[in-house]
Amino acid sequence: MKVTAPVDGTQFDAIVIGAGYGGVSCAAVLASRGMRVLVVDKNAKPGGKAMPAARSDGVTTELWPVAGGPAYGTRFEDLMDLVGLSREVIIAPEKGANFVYIDDQDQQHALEVSSQPIRNPLLVFSMARAFGVPVWKMLGLLRMNLHSMRISDAEMEEYDRVSMLDYMKRFHLPAPVLHWLSSLMNLFFVVPVDQLPASEAILTLRGVAKGGAGRYHRGGYGVVAQAAVDYVVKQQGVYLPSTRVNEVLVEGGRAVGISTPHGCYFAPVVISNAGIQPTVFKLVGEGAFPAGYVQRVKEYVPSWAFVGVRYDLSRPFFKIPMNVYFSSESGWDRSRFAAAEAGQWPHNPLLFVTVPSLYDPSLVTPEVAQVALIGVLCSPDPDSPMNAQATVELEKMVDRLWPEFRSLVTRRKVYGADAVSSTTRDNVLHQGGECIGLGQLIGQCGRSKPDFRAPLQGLYYAGTDAGGRGIGTTQAVDSGWNVAHAILEDYRKGVWKRPTSGVRKVDDAITALMSVQEAGEVVGDRVPQGLDKRDAQGVEDRQEAREKGRKKQSAKTASAKPL
């Protein structure tokens, strides 16, 4: 498709596809350096998988279990500082997590830990008591902690090729501790523990020790993403929610913009937060890439999914906001996952429970005492029959653990890999429902991690697939930050140039933006951001603004003002 930006075209310095944490952090950094950025997202609100669910009954919750880590000392704080959001938004309670070991007799052994940085050197002995392990057997864990802290940056690369399971086994950990750590790795990375590079796990455990874990945000986990989008708009950028990208426009061997149902937008830089595989196979098309690269992208393996149920409860049931139930059958490797996928589920799989209102009580109403989000590991393929079975196995375990729980349920909503995919990552290769993105696996991390610079001039990837390290949204923000600075460096090197023509006329802008949502319709409680009162001459009279846009189609570009 030949696409040449017209003189009065919709021109930006950069376009970001997707308002997940990788996308919005990249957009915010670029906007802070004077670039005019367009952020386009198919959802009504930013945040991606961490997008909040604000309901008509006054309850705000998450779509599925969400928490972050480390709590402190990550790019999240840098992003918050950049966009002017107080760090008081971070919630990391003293009683932040409850780890419950279920032994082979179905007896429960609980260990409560803080979300704050680890300050108690005796925590290992508390763990021994909680899990019923002789104290002397904890020496292996102490040796492992000491060894992991001493690995230099130069040595860390060696551990890109060592699985975390093999690394842990070197220290002869007691069985409950090995089950706990293996389950924790499943929870953090959502991949087989025998394929997780020890390097990724060690770096994260270091960060958790120094910065705590189980972070949440006041007002909902997605508030930082919303603040980032608001910041981009204040810097003369534009945010288009509820807008699908049909394709990335390519001309002369480089990405030059995007097409949407509402028109085309142009920029010398396009950043995709939609995932590498959906970008290559759906938004761009494999013909624009070298054959070897296409084959490699086809071979990338996604993380697993977390699927489950959201429950509204009539009275408070949980006391701690994050709860992890694990057993000797938890801590899945490839063989355990394959067995479950074949229908042979364990008696007590890993169960992950979050209760957002125990972080922030303002998220619920007197009529809804708590919303509990419960999840189990599953296939990322939206069409996998494992999805339905996972919900059945989850509720079997719920009934065993808490016989009275179901009597408190006033509302029940199942979420599967299909729901995750439709909300976030498009399904193109038997994936889409993954919890994180591309799996942090041996062969896909460290030097083998995908390059955030695509082999198509002007196209970059931001998010969990490339450019960052860490877990979940922490990795996404790290990526967005790194990719933005790389784009700025590429500009300084002359890899791309800012547009000098094609500045868009403001009334044309009004017309195009109004087509995103019909006059009188809003997205949530807001109009498309970037179309503010200065430009639309009063959002209240959007129909009049649209008519003015039509009448001034022939106005000269010189009379325009920037969005």
Indicate the residue type of 379.
S
Rounded Cα–Cα distance for residues 247 and 283 (Å): 4
Q: How confident is the model at residue 500 (pLDDT cuts 50, 70, 90)?
A: low
pLDDT by residue (tens digit) across 354-366? 999 999 999 999 9
- Do 263 and 229 share a structural domain? yes
Residues 292 and 267 in one domain: yes
Q: Identify the pLDDT of residue 168.
A: 98
State whether 231 and 289 are in the same domain.
yes
> Locate tokens 């998010």: which residue?
463
Residue 522: the pLDDT is 31
Q: Are residues 468 and 524 in the same domain?
A: no
Say whether pLDDT at 410 is over 90. Answer: yes
Residue 403 inside a domain? The answer is: no
Least confident of 112-126, 224-238, 261-275: 112-126
* DSSP state for residue 280 in the 8-state scheme: I
DSSP 262-275: TEEEE-S-EEE-S-
Number of domains in the chain: 2
Do 512 and 487 belong to one domain? no
Peptide bond into 70 cis (omega under 30): yes
Residues 482 and 457 in one domain: yes
Tokens representing residue 455 in the block: 């082999």
Cα-flanking dihedrals φ and ψ of residue 109, to 5°? -125, 110
Positive or negative, the Cα torsion across 62, 64, 65, 67? negative
pLDDT of the residue at 435: 87
- For the chain, give the mean pLDDT: 87
Do 483 and 531 belong to one domain? no
Cα–Cα distance for residue pair 267/38, rounded to 1 Å = 9
| Residues 232, 274 share a domain | yes
Q: Which two tokens stand for residue 151?
A: 């690995």
The CA–CA distances, whole Å, from 143 to 26, 111, 124 equal: 39, 21, 12
Q: Compute the C-alpha angle 288/289/290, nearest 5°.
A: 135
pLDDT of residue 473 exceeding 70, the answer is yes
- Answer whether residue 269 is part of any domain: yes
Q: How much is the pLDDT for 508?
A: 41
pLDDT tens by residue, 5-24: 433 348 999 999 999 999 99
Which residue type occupies 533? K
Q: Give the phi and the psi of residue 300 in degrees, each rounded to 5.
A: -60, 140
CA distance 275 to 387: 22
pLDDT band at 127 (very low <50, low <70, confident <90, very high): very high
What is the C-alpha to C-alpha distance for residues 407 and 400, in angstroms, rounded to an integer?
A: 14
**Using one digit for the tens of pLDDT, what is the confidence trace for 109-121?**
999 999 998 776 6
Q: What are the tokens at 164?
A: 């975390």
The reply to whether 245 falls in a domain is yes
Query: Looking at the structure, do residues 463 and 513 belong to the same domain, yes or no?
Result: no
Residues 233 and 282 in one domain: yes
- Residue 87 predicted with pLDDT over 60: yes
Which H or E run includes 238?
strand 238-240
In this prediction, residue 501 has a pLDDT band, given cuts at 50, 70 and 90, of very low
pTM for this structure?
Answer: 0.87
Q: Is residue 342 part of a domain?
A: no
| Range in 402-416, 429-443, 464-478, 525-539 with the lowest mean pLDDT | 525-539
- Rounded to whole angstroms, the Cα distance separating 1 from 346 reads 52
Same domain (yes/no): 233, 288 = yes
Q: Confidence class of residue 424 from pLDDT cuts 50, 70 and 90? A: confident
Query: What's 17-48 look like in SS3?
Result: ECCEHHHHHHHHHHHHCCCCEEEECCCCCCEH
Domain that holds residue 291: 14-51+222-300+436-492
Q: What residues form DSSP beta bridges with 133?
A: none
Q: Domain containing 30 — which CATH number?
A: 3.50.50.60
Radius of gyration of the chain (CA): 24
Window from 319-323, 411-415, 426-430 with minimum mean pLDDT: 426-430
The SS3 assignment for 223 reads helix
One domain, residues 462 and 488: yes
Question: If DSSP codes are grouped into helix, strand and coil, which group holds residue 500?
Answer: coil
% residues pLDDT > 90 (the chain): 78
